[in-house]
Amino acid sequence: MHRSANAKDARRRETAELGPVRTLRGETPRLVPMVAALAEHAGTLKELLDGAVADAHADAETAHAETQAARRATLAETRADEARDEARTARGGHDEKVAAARRAAAEADQARKETGRAEQARLTAEDNTATAERREQHAREAYADAKAAHDEVTGRLTDAEQQNAVLREALQGRGHDTP
């Protein structure tokens, strides 16, 4: 067989294989799964973003509680300073004042320890607050991105539905014209 005849046969087979895909009836069924997949992905994106926003909100509430604890620790530090001052004053007196001063000093030391823990809690709370704010900002940005993607998918879905309707009308029009 001649090479050009082989090439013609190959083109004819390829055209026969691709024929149904190139018709309106062949294209319409391919659009329906694509439109359904786009709608499903848009819903999944929204669920993921709602979860991220809820997590960021919970982190912010935790950071707020830790900030309140740090404020209480600062108050304890002020009280410790006052107790140290009272201890210094008490040392100038007699035995009762010396005993009271020792108690006040012990309380001041305890308050100092609590102040250290409170300062650490305050720093942790500030870090957590900053982290929560960053997470919340990221969640907002992700939500905005997902909303934009959702809007784009919705637009594409609408366009696909319109194209599908046009294709159906074209197919129906062809069906009435042919005997």
Chain segment 105-164, per-residue pLDDT in tens: 888 888 888 888 888 988 898 888 989 889 889 888 888 888 888 888 898 889 888 999
Query: 90 pLDDT band (50/70/90 cuts)?
Result: low
Domain count, the chain: 1
18-to-6, 13, 21, 26 alpha-carbon distances in Å: 18, 9, 5, 10
Of residues 172 and 21, more confidence is placed in 172
Could you tell me if residue 78 is inside a domain?
A: yes
Closest among 164, 171, 169 to 36, alpha carbons compared: 164
Q: Count the neighbouring beta carbons within 10 Å of the beta carbon of residue 132.
A: 20
Could you tell me if residue 5 is inside a domain?
A: no
Could you tell me if residue 138 is inside a domain?
A: yes
Could you tell me if residue 169 is inside a domain?
A: no
Could you tell me if residue 18 is inside a domain?
A: no
Could you tell me if residue 173 is inside a domain?
A: no
Could you tell me if residue 73 is inside a domain?
A: yes
97: containing domain: 33-161
Task: Enter the pTM of the model.
Answer: 0.34
Could you tell me if residue 47 is inside a domain?
A: yes
Cα separation, 72 vs 87, whole angstroms = 22
